[in-house]
Amino acid sequence: MRHYSGSLNGQPWDGYVVERPDDLEPFRAWVRRQAESRTPVAVDTETCGLKIYAWGPGFLRMAQFGNETDAFALPIERGSVYTEAAAWALRILPDITGHNWAGFDALVSDEHLGVSIEETCAKATDTQILAKLIDPRQKMEGGTGSGLKDLSAVYIDPAAPDTQDGLKAVFKSLKLKIAEGFAKIPLDHPIYQEYGLLDVILTSRLRPRLERTLEKLGVPKRLSVYEHRVARICAQMVRVGMVLDEDYTVNLQADLAYDADRFAELAAGHGVTSVNSPRQVTEALLGMGEDFILPGRSAPERTDSGALKADKAVLQFMADLDRDWKPIRSRKPNPLADAVLRSKRAGKWRSAYADNFLSNVDAGGRIHANVQSMQARTFRMSVTNPAVQTLPSGDKMIRRALLADEGHVMISTDFQAVEMRVLAALADVKRMKVAIAAGEDLHSFTARLVFGDNFTDKDRKVAKGIGFSKVFGGGAATTARQTGAPIEAVQRAMAKYDQVYPEVGRAAKDWRIEAFNNRMVAVSITGHRLPLDRDRTYAVTNYLVQSTARDCLGQSLVTMDDAGLVPFLRLPIHDEVLASAPKSDAQDVAREIQRCMTFNLRGVPIEAEAEIGLRSWGSLYGADY
């Protein structure tokens, strides 16, 4: 047994690394004592990386257990006797703490220790969830951050070592890249061991401090219970994953690579050797006489830093294409703009989607995209590796690669205009509530109020744009740019909107004042704390609406859990839930999901509509498979 010790904030700690099977005896005795006294024990795992499912056996290297003063580390990769001891401890301990437990370690334990997500999550407290309930912002945004290091510095000891950064420095000294360091650093490296032990000591000490802070801030306990449950449901979705059509994806990858190369060669003929270099592209286009002025605008388009802008909108205009890539015959198409556009799209779709799918597939042909259930500052979820919340929706090509299970079909269930309804509910917008209750199309209803009974399709578009704009906190200029309508008309329409829905502006003002009186933190109706940036307090409307809409999804997931529907769920996508169900049960499952996503929010009906597709996700976007 190797011994480490140290001190944090004047409080000593001791850590022990199990080296031989005999060393497991003191570990077991310690675990029994913790279990008997029902002392919370922090658990952490060290792995070869983040690909829990695609890596294969040997992924889990070390497992650590610790309370506020004592910790043990087990060398899982040294043999099954250690795996079994870790699994036993995880099962017998009545109260565990993890940092990002449901987001990572619960999945690792489930897959590599054989202790299920359901079993551990039922008794786990996640310090990352607690921390986000105090402040959801990342460090970049002015928050505490949700990493163990940042939280420890604030809540435990400013001098607590940065174990992540420390490890990266070790990797560097061993001439290992960061990505391979976690897999290749020798298990008996003293810093690897010491930091592994420290992580559970820190997590243990963090928990009571975070719990006290939450209590002091008046954050309801039920909110924490709810978030732990949502996190567990998301973990269950990650575990089941989705089937990847590998043959299709390999072909897709080749086709996209071919297209990217072909159009890159065309661009090279105009002197652009790298289509992803905005500098090269703008220079070449300038040389061809392009002025970068879009129709209806007087000045060239520029980026924030003042350079000429050659983004998709600009290039599509130059290539004489509309937003759907159809020729508009308004000018002579610029062949370079066209080639750059197509090469970039094919290249991005190949690398961000096709490559990513194939590098994340497990031995059983499934991908398990990671869901962080409260990632955004509004608590919206995010999905990574691969980012399947952001697959192209205008073209079925990419979504076609993801399949329902064998014998299943895909079901997609969307909330209907959920953010508009949430706004109506939160701001108590009388006329909107009447329209929603009557089942009217909200944007047409608004268009009628703003433009009169004879409103046109164009007017409806403007009304829709203003609706979004109000939810985002936007002004006339951006709304005009988005809708393509002249700014004067948009200004008039926005003034009229404020007249017909006076509650929206009034509520926004009240929310800003409330937040101001609460140290710049808005509190949603579920109790989520939403910190505002001092210079962007107008964002309060968006934060409250976006966060409450997110809780509509969260509440629906909990209801679906009660209804036993979680095994069918595959992916949350903000206002949509993707599911896979046996063909013969699809109607029933779809109806049940729809029911769970239908409820009343402060007198406003929140409603959802399910769509049943074929086997591939792409089939819901008009494909034939």
Partner DNA sequence: CGGCTCACG
Partner DNA sequence: ACGTACGTGAGCCGG
Residue 304 near DNA by CB under 7 A: yes
The 312-331 site mask, x for binding DNA (CB under 7 A), equals xx-x----------------
Contact 16, 1 (CB under 8 A): yes
Residues 574-603 touching DNA, rule: CB under 7 A, are: 574-576
Among 95, 119, 355, 561, binds DNA (CB under 7 A): 355
Residue among 1 and 250 whose Cβ is closer to DNA: 250
Distance separating the N- and C-terminal Cα atoms of the chain: 58
The 129-148 site mask, x for binding DNA (CB under 7 A), equals ---------x--x-------
Residue 309 near DNA by CB under 7 A: yes
Residue 249 near DNA by CB under 7 A: no
Residue 482 near DNA by CB under 7 A: yes
* Binding region for DNA (CB under 7 A) out of 119-127, 462-470, 496-504, 559-567: 462-470
Question: Strand 2-8 relative to strand 11-17: parallel, antiparallel, unpaired?
Answer: antiparallel
Total of chain residues touching DNA, rule CB under 7 A: 71
Residue 270 near DNA by CB under 7 A: no
The phi, psi pair for 456, rounded to 5°, reads: -100, 175
* Binding region for DNA (CB under 7 A) out of 106-114, 325-333, 436-444, 467-475: 467-475
Residue 352 near DNA by CB under 7 A: yes
Residues 279-298 touching DNA, rule: CB under 7 A, are: 279-280
Residue among 573 and 623 whose Cβ is closer to DNA: 573
Give the SS3 label for residue 277.
coil
* Binding region for DNA (CB under 7 A) out of 200-208, 274-282, 401-409, 438-446: 274-282
The burial of 222, by beta-carbon neighbours within 10 Å (0-12 exposed, 13-18 middle, 19 or more buried), is given as exposed
The 64-103 site mask, x for binding DNA (CB under 7 A), equals ----------------------------------------
Residue among 78 and 496 whose Cβ is closer to DNA: 496
Residue 31 near DNA by CB under 7 A: no
HEC profile of 98-148:
ECCHHHHHHHHHHHHHCCCHHHHHCCEEEHHHHHHHHCCCCHHHCCCCCCH
Give the SS3 label for residue 536.
helix
Residue 177 near DNA by CB under 7 A: no
Residue 609 near DNA by CB under 7 A: no
Contact 260, 346 (CB under 8 A): yes
Residue 393 near DNA by CB under 7 A: yes
Among 39, 69, 444, 478, binds DNA (CB under 7 A): 478
The phi, psi pair for 3, rounded to 5°, reads: -115, 135
Residue 455 near DNA by CB under 7 A: no
Tokens of 411: 């079901």
Contact 63, 86 (CB under 8 A): yes
Residue 384 near DNA by CB under 7 A: yes
Among 106, 131, 202, 376, binds DNA (CB under 7 A): 376
* Binding region for DNA (CB under 7 A) out of 39-47, 251-259, 463-471, 495-503: 463-471
Residue 268 near DNA by CB under 7 A: no
Residue among 97 and 280 whose Cβ is closer to DNA: 280
Among 333, 335, 473, 502, binds DNA (CB under 7 A): 473
Residue 477 near DNA by CB under 7 A: yes
Residue 344 near DNA by CB under 7 A: yes
The secondary structure of residue 302, as a DSSP letter, is B
The phi, psi pair for 485, rounded to 5°, reads: -85, 155
Residue 310 near DNA by CB under 7 A: yes
* Binding region for DNA (CB under 7 A) out of 94-102, 250-258, 310-318, 518-526: 310-318
Residue 413 near DNA by CB under 7 A: no
Residue among 157 and 283 whose Cβ is closer to DNA: 283
Tokens of 288: 């061809």
Residue among 435 and 490 whose Cβ is closer to DNA: 490
Q: What angle do CA 210, 212, 214 make, to 5 degrees?
A: 70
* Binding region for DNA (CB under 7 A) out of 37-45, 237-245, 346-354, 403-411: 346-354
Residues 35-64 touching DNA, rule: CB under 7 A, are: none
Contact 21, 81 (CB under 8 A): yes
The half-sphere exposure of 183 on its side-chain side, counting CA atoms within 13 A, is 14
Residue 389 near DNA by CB under 7 A: yes
Say how far apart CA 128 and CA 146 lie, in whole Å.
Answer: 6
Run of H or E including 402: strand 402-403
Smallest gap, in angstroms, from Cβ of residue 547 to DNA?
A: 9
Residues 516-575 touching DNA, rule: CB under 7 A, are: 535-539, 542-543, 546, 573-575
Rounded alpha-carbon distances, angstroms, from residue 473 to 107, 479, 544, 545: 38, 10, 11, 11
Say how far apart CA 376 and CA 384 lie, in whole Å.
Answer: 13
Among 205, 232, 342, 345, binds DNA (CB under 7 A): 345
Tell me the one-letter amino acid at 370.
N
Rounded alpha-carbon distances, angstroms, from residue 326 to 255, 266, 457, 485: 21, 20, 21, 21
Residue 128 near DNA by CB under 7 A: no
* Binding region for DNA (CB under 7 A) out of 195-203, 276-284, 403-411, 601-609: 276-284
Say how far apart CA 154 and CA 156 lie, in whole Å.
Answer: 6
Residue 368 near DNA by CB under 7 A: no
Peptide bond into 386 cis (omega under 30): yes
Largest pairwise CA distance in the chain: 85
The phi, psi pair for 179, rounded to 5°, reads: -60, -35
Residue 500 neighbours by CB under 8 Å, 6+ apart: 431, 446, 449, 450
